[in-house]
Structure 1
């Protein structure tokens, strides 16, 4: 039964520059690929796996989590696109509240549908403000949720959205430019927000280089999420491993 654990939340809050690999089970169904990804990610010093997607089935989700759990000790966090994308085999759940949009299903509807089942699960549930940022292309989450992302030049809208989320009691801020984004979440947003808030910040979408990871770390991002680029080039994990080793030496 849900008891409000905070272990993973505290870990995310504890430092900047942590890295998570986002796995979409719909795109990554082959066991061999998942096993290889798990092993390489652990060797690279990645901190977490996120599992979920806009149109993932419950069966594919559970199978993916089971394989990850068999082949890595890294925590697995649910990143659900709908109420059925939950599993007691995971370690935690980002309980996403899509506050940049006005679709009631993603503000509260899916949450109500999942609440009774989640109540019986032994998951760390982390209320998360999910803010879509315009990455220069339409993403699956925009299409499915029928919501409009915040333009990169509209910091005041992003700021007020984040502040409202904090006042509602949300514990994490997740800025997402979307899978394969052309434009990143603006780092100046992070620098400005860090002057006002201490809530942990997560950023994802379009991250393809170590330089970008380092810039987000320096700006004060707690967790940097990489998905599409790893799907296309799993050997990018070698670069991440080298980066993490250099950071530890510094």
Structure 2
């Protein structure tokens, strides 16, 4: 089915249901067998999405890794979360076409997009136009350094709302609030709540979500999808806890 990812994301936002994306950094996959077992376990727990990518990738083996995932579960949506134009694979299902609207680096606002656009036009990937907003997570992160941008203050929801509104007026259809990999603190619930009340679009939130309570707070504030990367690397059972929580939460919505 075409636009399957779009339909799922927009249904989540409309119905108030929640979802989890497991963010995988290809460079951090050490052993194929154990990785496949992890994917199999998450698939059995009905993981919603896999995001794949990173700020800096040294090994260009996206094709191989995505093929491995698809061998376990061909229906599990694999979405590229690219740090640059070299992070591309036709074997993925979709791509977050990220415009770093919180920064002023023209290369990440539009520059790299022009480079990759002809390739995307020939591919079968779902292209998801996404406003990417970097929020201060209390520590300098890889995306800070690579993007050469200053993150939005985590205590200034009015700035975040203005940025999101500008992105919405430009036609962006999804919004990703990110405190960055290894953030000490996640995006504040106040910022999430303020943006959710200001724009009608699926809201993805990641960075610093290393406990179930932080995930719950993020969902309660209005996130439609939470993204867990570092937290899963340190403790894969966190994904299990979150998926079990989502199952109960979404089930209660169905009953009501």
TM-score grouping bracket, smaller chain normalisation: over 0.9
Task: Tell me which residue corresponds to 2:156.
Answer: 154
Matches within 5 A, 1:24-103: 24-57=25-58, 59-72=60-73, 73-103=75-105
Question: Distance in 2 between the 1:85 and 1:196 partners?
Answer: 32
Question: Distance in 1 between the 2:171 and 2:110 partners?
Answer: 14
Identify which range, 60-69 or 196-205, moves more after superposition. 60-69
> Which among 103, 127, 130 is matched to residue 129 of structure 2?
127
Task: Tell me which residue corresponds to 2:111.
Answer: 109
Task: Tell me which residue corresponds to 1:177.
Answer: 179
Contact 1:34 1:67 in 2 (8 A): no
- Higher RCO (Cα < 8 Å, 6 or more apart): 1
Task: Tell me which residue corresponds to 2:170.
Answer: 168
**Residues matched between the structures, number:** 246
Task: Tell me which residue corresponds to 1:6.
Answer: 3
With normalisation by structure 1, the TM-score equals 0.93
What SS is found at the alignment partner of 1:195? helix
> Which among 218, 222, 225 is matched to residue 223 of structure 1?
225
What SS is found at the alignment partner of 1:130? strand
Task: Tell me which residue corresponds to 1:143.
Answer: 145
Contact 1:51 1:77 in 2 (8 A): yes
Question: Measured at CA, do residues 249 and 121 of structure 1 come closer, stay the same or move farther in structure 2, by a change above 3 Å?
Answer: closer
Task: Tell me which residue corresponds to 1:239.
Answer: 241
Aligned-pair CA distance for 1:201 = 0.6
Aligned-pair CA distance for 1:189 = 1.5
**RMSD of aligned Cα (Å):** 1.6
What SS is found at the alignment partner of 1:59? coil
Provide structure 1 residue ranges, at least 5 long, that are not aligned to the other structure: none
With normalisation by structure 2, the TM-score equals 0.91
Task: Tell me which residue corresponds to 2:206.
Answer: 204
Contact 2:84 2:112 in 1 (8 A): yes
Provide structure 2 residue ranges, at least 5 long, that are not aligned to the other structure: none
Contact 2:212 2:242 in 1 (8 A): yes
